[in-house]
Amino acid sequence: MALTGIQIFKLLPKTNCKECGEPTCLAFAMKLAAGKAELASCPYVSDEAKEQLSEASAPPIRGVVIGTGDNSIKVGEELVLYRHEKTFVNPTAIAILIEDSMSDDEIKGKIDQLNNNTYERVGLILKAHLAALRCKSGDAAKFKALVEKVSGMTSDGLILISDSADVIKEAVSVCADKKPLICGATKDTADAFAAIAKESKVPVAIKGSIDDVIEITQKMTAAGIKDIVIDADEASYKDTIKNQIIIRRAALKKKFRPLGFPTISFACDMTDDKLFETTLAAGLINKYAGIVVVSEIDPPSVLALTVNRMNIYTDPQRPMVMDQGVYEFNNPDANSPLLITTNFALTYFIVSAEIEASRVPAWLLIMDTEGMSVLTAWSAGKFVADAMAPFVLKSGISDKLGHKNIIIPGYVAQLSGEFQEELGSEWEVAVGPREAGDIPKYLRKLAGI
Amino acid sequence: MAFDIPKETYSGAIREVIIGEGDKAVTIGGQNAMTLCGFEGEFPNRPKIAMEVYDERPENWAEAVMEPFADVIDDPVKWALKNVNEYGAQIICLQLSSTDPNTKDTSPDAAAQLAKSIAQAISVPLVVYGSGNVEKDVAVLKKVAEVCEGKNLLLGPVVEENYRQIGAAAIAFKHCIAAQTPIDVNMAKQLNILLENLGVPPDKIVIDPSTGALGYGIEYSYSVMERDRLAALSQNDAKMQMPIICDMGKEAWKARESKIPLDEEPTYGDITKRGLLWETVTAMDLLMAGADILVMRHPKSVDVIKKIINDMF
């Protein structure tokens, strides 16, 4: 439960030494309460106060890091139920399932998918982030061998899955430095898993009904284990989603600590149909899973899941934008037509998809309008003749063209005259279609196809 | 410590809307909790899938989504029947794209006759969407309303610029209306108010919030629909308590990822699977955000989403 400034003040030394940078301890306490200062700035705070305060100021859902270095990934720390309230924080980590019963070829295929199926979109890298290794054989030595093998094949983080703490203990011994997530303790195995988590300093996933989960996290927290992930999957998808909602709500609305942890969900175990599985995994991204384990990350699945994740986790207040500049489609040359539009990513995606579909080689100028769409940017004075003309002239596009014709979106037909004037008489401004869907027809007609 | 599930209390409910007539009728809406929160409310009617039929041979469709309709693609009535009888469509959505004056400019009479033939042939309700041309849709949907009197169709997209004429026809010939606004809660509410003021009964209105595809604005649709629902359920806003229709099949299959061949994007993998996933994931997002009718295209993605609806509601 968050403390008030006065409550925090009572725990401070009250010496007004100013070493924290604030004039008084009370001022510092107020800033702490508002989340605008770090307790570490006070050199004299007692250990007891530290503990009480860090407990109180911890995020309602703990952030858990899996893996180390550049390839580590953090899940949790979410603050809202609906994405329009505030940006979702740490995007769902997608994990590919690998079992020790698989052949070497199969394993290599899965790891290749993990390492290679990487895409770029609006400057973001889209990929899966974890290898989830499951002991199916029940043979600790066999599983350990798999873990060693996979550790050498990818620098991505690992999840180690077995019901047996002994199997996990063996496996962790060869990869503890990679900070794998060990998975999954039940009520019966909680103590044994907790011992491994503590000794090897690795995060631990626990599973069971909501009541079991509460019991286990309380026990583990009391034992000093903080990095916990909850597996609350149920036999039905409906109940799995229900648990996800309950966990998020309890943590955020009730500040209920025993459920204040990120979750893991196994889409891979929900069906044998891949299309179905990927769709269920997408739903788990929407409804709060911190980690989703899937059985396949072939290119279509990675694209669909990571684009969905990007869409759901994008900032609802700030539009995605493209870099300003010249974009090429279908290998344009000096005679290819030139179009111009704004840098709202959605505008770009739609316009670029249509130009590409037209098969007509073309140039597209993307102008920085602070992520506004054509009409909005026009009415805000960002996509107007006296801003567009200097951009076009300085863009360097003239060097690439053997003509000086430029096509503007149909929705801003009214600025064509002024734009023409600003560009100078050697340029010719044409008005393109209003809707992007009509671009292919327009371009094909222009190209005489 | 005994754990009590933290439940929300809702003050409002979504209205039930009936589409179709007699034993063909289907009811949508009626829920009184946020989607997926069956543990704190009633969901008397599962979301339904409407499958698309076009009034002309589609151009530029991906091979994968032409194939299931290859034998019926030039005959909309047969196409509709195949969707119902073979592919299990719960509703048919006739897309009158050829009425667009910028393309074939098919006459309102011809469009209306086609709508009537389909409505008579199929055993499920019919949604009829115009081309989206604001003026032409008036003529087309008015005629459709008249010719299909009593069929209780769902007519759309009805927008602020043409709601009067189409609304009046819907009242006169007793049809439902899909009120379309550009991804905005307040505009959706405004259009509902205008329609009600015109005399359209609130239980004859369905909200069409405008739908983006995965990667092409789905996040806007997702959040606007969640906010629509919070307004209806938590704030008990009577002007927002209509079911939601998402005309999404065309958006999903228009996405670059659904269409671009492997030889042009060698790292993108199987084009058929890509298209299907683009449609199923788009549908999944909209379903979770609160859709009551999903307008879909490919029978395989329809299968997947149907299964999910049965699991989830």
Type of residue found at A66 = I
Chain B within 8 Å of A127 (Cβ-Cβ)?
Answer: no
Considering the domain boundaries, does residue B235 fall inside one? yes
Considering the domain boundaries, does residue B149 fall inside one? yes
In the predicted structure, residue B45 carries a pLDDT above the cut 50: yes
pTM of the complete model beyond 0.95: no
Rounded to whole angstroms, how far apart are CA atoms A118 and A135? 27
Bridge partners of A360?
none
Per-residue pLDDT, averaged over A80-94, amounts to 95
pLDDT in tens, B186-238: 999 999 999 999 999 999 999 999 999 999 999 999 999 999 999 999 999 99
pLDDT in tens, B51-76: 999 999 998 899 999 999 999 999 99
Judge residue A6's burial from the number of C-beta atoms within 10 Å of its C-beta, 0-12 exposed, 13-18 middle, 19 or more buried: exposed
| CB spacing of B277 vs A210 below 8 angstroms | no
CATH number at residue B33: 3.20.20.20
When CB atoms are compared, the residue of B102, B216, B277 closest to A350 is B216
DSSP-based three-state secondary structure for B307: helix
pLDDT in tens, A218-264: 999 999 999 999 999 999 999 999 999 999 999 999 989 999 999 99
DSSP-based three-state secondary structure for A228: strand
Instruction: Work out the minimum CA distance from A78 to partner chain B, whole angstroms.
Output: 17
Give the pLDDT of residue A7. 86
Beta-sheet pairing, A325-329 with A338-342: unpaired
Considering the domain boundaries, does residue B5 fall inside one? no
pLDDT in tens, A263-299: 999 999 999 999 999 999 999 999 999 999 999 999 9
Considering the domain boundaries, does residue B1 fall inside one? no
Give the pLDDT of residue A121. 86
Judge residue A400's burial from the number of C-beta atoms within 10 Å of its C-beta, 0-12 exposed, 13-18 middle, 19 or more buried: middle
| CB spacing of B218 vs A353 below 8 angstroms | no
In the predicted structure, residue A58 carries a pLDDT above the cut 90: no
* Structure tokens, B99: 């009425």
Per-residue pLDDT, averaged over A116-120, amounts to 93
Per-residue pLDDT, averaged over B270-298, amounts to 98
Name every chain B residue with its beta carbon within 8 A of the beta carbon of A209. none
Calculate the alpha carbon distances from A347 to A200, A352, A375, A409, B219 in Å. 49, 8, 11, 11, 14
Per the CB < 8 A criterion, the answer to whether A5 and A32 are in contact is yes
Give the pLDDT of residue B68. 98
Which domain range does residue B242 map to?
17-312
Residue of A nearest to B312 (CA): A238
Hey, which residues 203-222 in chain A have their CB within 8 Å of chain B? 210-211, 214, 218
Considering the domain boundaries, does residue B12 fall inside one? no
Residue among A129, A90, A62, A169 nearest A182 (CA): A169
Backbone angles phi, psi at A192, to 5 degrees: -65, -45
| CB spacing of B219 vs A350 below 8 angstroms | no
Q: What is the largest CA-CA distance in chain B?
A: 69
| CB spacing of A312 vs B222 below 8 angstroms | yes
Q: Walk across the sheet containing B154-158 and list its strands.
A: B205-208, B176-180, B154-158, B126-129, B91-95, B48-54, B293-296, B245-247
- B141 pLDDT band, cuts 50/70/90, is very high
Cis peptide bond N-terminal to B157, omega within 30: yes
- Written as one string, the DSSP assignment of B154-172 is EEEEE-TTTHHHHHHHHHH
Cis peptide bond N-terminal to A123, omega within 30: no
Q: How many domains does chain B have?
A: 1
Give the pLDDT of residue B15. 98
Rounded to whole angstroms, how far apart are CA atoms B295 and B301? 11
Write down all domains in chain A, each with its CATH number in brackets. 5-57 (1.10.15.40), 64-313 (3.20.20.20), 325-446 (3.40.50.11600)
Residue among A342, A401, A337 nearest A371 (CA): A342
Hey, which residues 222-251 in chain B have their CB within 8 Å of chain A? 222-223, 226-227, 230
In the predicted structure, residue A36 carries a pLDDT above the cut 80: no
In the predicted structure, residue A1 carries a pLDDT above the cut 50: no
| CB spacing of B281 vs A279 below 8 angstroms | yes
When CB atoms are compared, the residue of B256, B276, B285 closest to A275 is B276
Per-residue pLDDT, averaged over B86-115, amounts to 97
